[in-house]
Amino acid sequence: MQHVRASGMAIPHVQKSNDVSFVFVSTIAVQMANFIPMKREYGAMKVALNAYASQLAHRLAKDGVRSNIVSPGPIYFEGGFRDQVKQGSPELYKRASRLSALQRHGTAEEVANPTVFLASPAASYITGTNLRQEGGALTQIN
């Protein structure tokens, strides 16, 4: 609910601005039916976030406000979950890195760069989009 509350407080202000964009961080877990048991609820909550962001895109378009989603896949950064897996179970970490077509985990920068793009005026005609950063781990056609 923090996304709904925070954006709800911001909406009256951003409707008066130019080149405004919400970018919500979701996950590819919304498309994985057989997710890690401890994380099933996480995927379900992110599905709701995706729906909310899409609804915002349509509701606020008339005001020139854009709303998009970024959905990272397995991203490695020092001290993060994947780093813990790498330290505790190196073989599991290697197997997980082979899930993507690129055969590796992504980096924080590989999530940040497209996120900044979606938030910028350079993406002025993009709204209601869910941009996945998962190295080709998901094979469905969008």
| Catalytic site positions | 42
Give the torsion sign (CA, 118, 123, 129, 133): negative
**For the chain, give me the number of helices (H) and strands (E)?**
5, 5
Alpha helices in the chain (DSSP H): 2-14, 40-60, 81-88, 90-97, 108-119
Structure-block tokens of residue 56: 């915002």
- From 133, 127, 126, 129, select the one nearest 109 (Cα to Cα): 133
60 vs 101: CA distance, rounded Å = 36
Closest CA to 49 of 65, 64, 27, 33: 27
